[in-house]
Amino acid sequence: MNKPDQALRIVAKAGAALVAAVAAIGSAHAASIDNGHALVEAHNCAACHGAKFTNPVSNDYPKLAGQHADYIVMALRQYQMGTSNPRFGRSNPIMQAQVQGLSLSDMKDIGAYLESLPGTLVDKK
């Protein structure tokens, strides 16, 4: 076997291993709606976002029921970053305090729970 063929096989194997690793990371945590519900209760999210997460106590607060889980996770991560990352962080002292102890798995669970709730949000086309 010549050296170019060997190099090509090594690169192909490394690429396949990278694809498998990325897929494993994405599926390593299947979100738990039950754990998300428990976390939302423990953090008293309903105090600001409303009992059914469709009627917040202020128009400044978002409706969360039925929101896309990916959006919820990203928003929670941004609150966790706070102003330490001015390009991506969100500045809200209440939310920053609420999310500091959450892991990424916790945030995915919360997102899955909120997405599972019936809400009044609509997708515009």
CA distance 81 to 98: 12
Q: What is the pLDDT of residue 17?
A: 54
CB burial of residue 59 (10 Å; 0-12, 13-18, 19+) = exposed
Amino acid at the residue 3:
K
Q: Which residues, in sequence order, are CB contacts of 66 under 8 Å at separation 6+?
A: 54, 114, 115, 117, 118, 119, 120, 121
Q: What is the pLDDT of residue 25?
A: 45
| Residue spans of the chain under pLDDT 70 | 1-29
- Which architecture characterizes domain 31-125 according to CATH? Orthogonal Bundle (1.10)
pLDDT tens sequence across 40-76: 999 999 999 999 999 999 999 999 999 999 999 999 9
Domain map (residue ranges) of the chain: 1-30, 31-125
Q: What is the pLDDT of residue 88?
A: 75
